[in-house]
Structure 1
């Protein structure tokens, strides 16, 4: 038998304040309703739009490409600015986050993995990076963003 581990470390379950299952999958099944599960699926596989050769998570784009072209000199910076998302904005709404940041880091790795799969499947010929870092483009704390690498425009 060959085991291919999840991108999320299963051991983190033991740190949860209220364990509701014997595995992470079981915990989700016991903790959330179908509407929440569908919402998370959309978060991990978001709607993507392309505007003037720029790739955006549609949730974050405000229809202001001309203004962005004036502010930023290249496509990469425009995409990084629009697509940067502070993961703190999500956890502010959650009841519990451990002080070591393990939860948010595991969540960030999952977002990075699935967003990368999404853009690779939609744009196989483009070199699109999904990056995790601290305070990218002025966002607070751990941030995820995506951008096209090496875009001259």
Structure 2
């Protein structure tokens, strides 16, 4: 199964695509979508949607996951992050993909083992879980971590159904 993970942001959205075969994970691709800060908000959201739509068409993921909004000290930053998340959810919905949403602490716990992990620990663990990966920056590392979290979540949902069935 191909899974797309997204770490949304208006300035930069990180993305990561992984393949899950049973419990085995492998890296497919990762990168960053940067919007032009000099453009007005609507144009930036259109630019983000266009890039996400292209990614979805190229990799044809069976599943997607997005990091949930955390509240910043700056309400304006939180609002912009929420708008970028909305575009990510919409792009996936237009492609017919249900999106998992995960709190940053849950992503960290799934990848590192603790919800209080530092960014560097997440980056290091993503590199260990996806051998040979060249990560295109911290946003892409976070997106790969979100994808890994989603695979773990899907696996535990499947095993819960197996046990209760």
- TM-score of the superposed pair, with normalisation by structure 2: 0.31
More strand by share: 2
RCO higher in 1 or 2 (8 Å CA, sep ≥ 6)?
Answer: 2
- TM-score of the superposed pair, with normalisation by structure 1: 0.32
More helix by share: 2
The structure number with the bigger radius of gyration is 1
